[in-house]
Structure 1
Amino acid sequence: MSTNIKIKRICEFCQNEFIAKTTKTQYCSLKCSSRAYKARTRQSKIDQSNKQTEIAKNPILEAVRVKDFLSIKQAGLLFGISRSTIYRLVSRGHLDIGKFGKRTVIRRCDLDSFFAIPVEDLLLKPKQQFPGFENCYTITEIQQKFNISSGALYFLIQRRGLVKYAIGKFTYVAKQDIDIIFNAV
């Protein structure tokens, strides 16, 4: 079944114009077709070699990519961030963790969904709006009123996940949160 159609085409290898007899013709000659095939084969071999080199450089990274649950260190390696950044995200409530004895793990899907959201939106927004100076204690006021050391107070604040507001040189905590902790109503 031959056709008499003649279509002007541009060769995908040498970029010269030629007359094609079918709509699927890509190259002007067998020579260009062979050279394009060799170039594709060469490029695929180079890509495969580069991939193997990358795997050889980071064998741990390839093993981590297939896991559903990651340690803090593995999560940092996978996303290129430090362990302290991951702990900071956990303490701010952006990531959920699981504890198995002393081991801390994070679900891979939680990390993927977190990094799908623009990070600037999460990190720059305060969790709560500042309630006002009259509704807050300074750290010094809390220490004096409830007779607690600064280390113990900061530990309680961190453990309970209370929001601290740093304004000027003072750090404020909402009165209602502190009163609940110390049962001072």
Structure 2
Amino acid sequence: MSVCTPEELALLKAAGRVVARTLRDLRARVRPGISTAELDEQADRLFAAAGARSGPRLDHGRLGTVCISVDDEGVHGVPGPRRLREGELVKLDVTTELDGFHADACRIVAVGRARPGALRLRAAAEAALRRGMQAATAGAPINHIGRAAQGEVQRRGFAVGTELTRHGSGAPLVLTA
């Protein structure tokens, strides 16, 4: 990711606001009985209203506007007819492109009242995010972020899927000397 000017930062923030607004709206709609397709349709409407495009559709030709995964599904679930049930955890992964800049965020939401194990998993994910953010310092190798997050998850008794790599926000990465 490369953001070099105040103008580029403003564009990145605008894309981030679309992601934040979409996450807030979808989170408020999560309840037993709603389908992941219904949540995705709402995200599509919000993106259209903002003039934004779906990152998953642009990058991977995905079927959904956003990625929605339930319980033990890792990441990048495709929305469909599945109806959410009380006690499940749903991961809302929202990636957008707006004016050439990408923003991405994910939230884990309990459907109704979550089970104790689900709450432990969500707490581990949140703690891993905090550890990763602490490791993201100027001059530090980027793999320190993942290593810090993974260590926190494992310390809490969970495992990390290792099949996915390199993810980011901003403009396409341009390496400079």
Which TM-score tier does this pair reach, normalised by the shorter chain? under 0.3
TM-score, with normalisation over the residues of structure 1? 0.21
Which structure is richer in relative contact order (CA contacts within 8 A, separation 6 or more)? Answer: 2
Structure with greater proportional helix content = 1
TM-score, with normalisation over the residues of structure 2? 0.22
